């Protein structure tokens, strides 16, 4: 009686081993490429760091930045790195050991990595009153962040605040950077033209790009109007600002971005706002969710929450 | 039960809000980040919207009446990255929300930690 039972068990086990082990292996095998990783077709959610576990990235293609790149990165950090709620990532307006400062400070002298402001730079910084997070943040009713009126963030703020998912499209003579925040874009001319000498100032400025090697595109931008903030902490800039970006394709799935701010009117020397900031390739077919600033949406929100929460206590 | 005056006052104050920025983006300044509250009640409205996703919950107050709470999260992009969807709450759902309360005593909170929907713990992504 025992013999048939043992045989049955052994047979079942053997069958299971042949069927289930391969299935199990397939489920836990690392992806062969980013395009193998499953995402929602519409309003895709950027991949968490763990999705890439074990992925062996192919070498970088030559002179090619195209793809959908995400700056929100591994979500063990809250908020994700690209959001930069306390200012440009390399110079966060936080306190040593406290990434979530209470705000209300008059200046940035106590932050771990202070900026080299000129006297004019200090004065302009003081005039800009950020809300939200950061050492100098003030209550919403006292703030004057132009983005809070749905003014465009402009450049370089779109690299240094709410940097979420971008799409880079390359054509024969220009590169397009399409930004999720405000659903806006920039054109980087790669046709060899010189930067304009005395341009009309604009929100995003005027950009030219040159490949310095097969994997690094260096972009210079000038002509930005001076009523935008460099980041969400109100770092100032004049219309003399020059911004350099270095887009470096590290391998097939990784792009890093270095941003240098050069404005002698506001800062005594150029400074790095981003330093090899990592961007991760998203799978083919990634659909970037809309993120607009809508005055009517904000009016609704303020009626329901924004105004009541800013009011004085009732008693 | 006495008619409460504060809802009327709140409405009046709302009309005075014309000079405020469009986006009253309050960080920690408006919330008491040292406290955590737990509110249990029934969902009356769920707005999957920008600039903030938010949820209205009717809870019982101390005197046995109804406390009309509203809880806000981040924008839809951020919430979606945390695994939220536009359908995860429905009017009539029984919920428990862990939140950071407003400093000024209004029935406003910011989602902080646990969310239980009809007895099921919601597990955020990542």
Task: Supply the DSSP string of A91-122, one letter for each residue.
Answer: G---BTTBSS-----SSSTTSSS---B-HHHH
B72 touches chain A (CB under 8 A): yes
Digits of tens for pLDDT over chain B (126 positions)? 444 544 444 333 333 333 444 444 556 678 888 899 999 999 999 999 988 999 999 999 889 999 999 999 988 988 998 899 999 999 999 999 999 999 899 999 999 999 999 999 999 886
Topology at the third CATH level for domain B31-121: OB fold (Dihydrolipoamide Acetyltransferase, E2P) (2.40.50)
The shortest C-alpha distance from A188 to chain B (Å) reads 27
Residues of the domain holding A234: 51-298
Look at residue A20 in the predicted model and tell me its pLDDT: 55
A197 is a domain residue? yes
**Assigned domain for A14 exists:** no
- pLDDT tens digits for A63-100? 999 999 999 866 655 678 899 999 999 999 999 998 88
Q: State which residues of chain A have pLDDT below 70.
A: 1-28, 73-78, 314-315
Q: How much is the pLDDT for A115?
A: 98
Q: The complex's ipTM? A: 0.78
Is the Cβ pair B20, A80 closer than 8 Å? no
Interchain proximity B72–A307, CB inside 8 Å: no
- Chain B contact for A77, CB < 8 A? no
CA distance A260 to A125: 18
pLDDT score of A10: 63
Nearest CA in chain A to B4: A314
**pLDDT value of residue A12:** 58
In a domain, A202, yes or no: yes
Nearest to B27 among A131, A164, A289 (CB): A131
How far apart are the CA of B124 and the nearest CA of chain A, in angstroms? 11
Q: Quick check: is A17 in a domain?
A: no
Contact B80 A149 (CB under 8 A): no
Q: Taking CB atoms and an 8 Å limit, are B80 and A43 in contact across chains?
A: yes
Question: B115 vs chain A: nearest CA distance in angstroms?
Answer: 18
User: What is the domain count for chain A?
Assistant: 1
Q: Shortest CB distance from A311 goes to which of B27, B104, B125?
A: B104
């Amino acid at each position: 009686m025992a013999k048939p039972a043992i045989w049955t068990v052994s047979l079942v086990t053997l069958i299971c081993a042949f069927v289930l082990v391969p299935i199990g292996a397939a489920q836990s095998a690392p992806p062969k490429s980013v395009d193998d990783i499953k995402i929602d077709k519409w309003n895709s959610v950027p991949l968490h760091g763990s999705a890439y576990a074990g992925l062996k990235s192919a070498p970088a293609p030559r002179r090619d930045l195209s793809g959908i790149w995400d700056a929100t990165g591994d979500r063990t950090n809250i908020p994700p790195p690209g959001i930069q709620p306390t200012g440009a990532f390399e110079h966060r307006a936080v306190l040593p050991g406290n990434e979530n400062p209470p705000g209300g400070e008059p200046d940035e002298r106590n932050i771990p990595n202070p900026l080299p402001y000129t006297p004019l730079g200090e004065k302009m910084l003081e005039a800009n009153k950020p809300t939200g997070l950061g050492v100098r943040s003030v209550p919403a009713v006292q703030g004057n962040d132009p983005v809070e009126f749905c003014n465009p963030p402009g450049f370089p703020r779109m690299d240094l605040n709410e940097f979420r998912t971008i799409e880079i499209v390359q054509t024969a003579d220009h590169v397009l950077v399409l930004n999720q925040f405000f659903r806006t874009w920039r054109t980087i001319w790669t046709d060899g033209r010189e930067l304009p000498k005395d341009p009309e100032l604009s929100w995003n400025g005027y950009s030219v790009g040159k490949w310095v090697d097969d994997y690094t595109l260096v972009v210079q931008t000038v002509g930005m109007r001076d009523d935008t903030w460099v980041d969400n902490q109100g770092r100032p800039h004049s219309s003399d600002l020059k911004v350099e970006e270095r887009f470096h394709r590290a391998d097939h799935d990784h792009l890093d971005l270095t941003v240098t701010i050069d404005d002698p009117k506001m800062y005594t020397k150029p400074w790095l706002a981003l330093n090899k900031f990592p961007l991760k390739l998203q799978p083919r077919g990634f659909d970037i969710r809309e993120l607009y600033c809508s005055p009517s949406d904000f009016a609704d929100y303020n009626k329901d929450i924004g105004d009541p929460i800013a009011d004085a206590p009732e008693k | 039960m006495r008619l409460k005056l504060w809802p009327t006052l709140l409405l009046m104050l709302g009309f005075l809000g014309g000079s405020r920025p469009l986006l009253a983006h309050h960080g920690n300044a408006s919330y008491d980040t040292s406290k955590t509250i737990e509110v249990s009640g029934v969902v009356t409205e769920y707005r999957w919207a920008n600039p903030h996703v938010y949820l209205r919950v009717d809870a019982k107050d101390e005197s046995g009446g109804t406390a009309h709470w509203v809880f806000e999260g981040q924008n839809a992009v951020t919430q979606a990255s945390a695994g939220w969807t536009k359908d995860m709450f429905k009017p009539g759902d029984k919920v428990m929300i862990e939140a950071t309360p407003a400093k000024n005593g209004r029935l406003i909170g910011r989602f902080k930690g646990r969310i239980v929907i009809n007895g099921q713990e919601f597990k955020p992504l990542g």
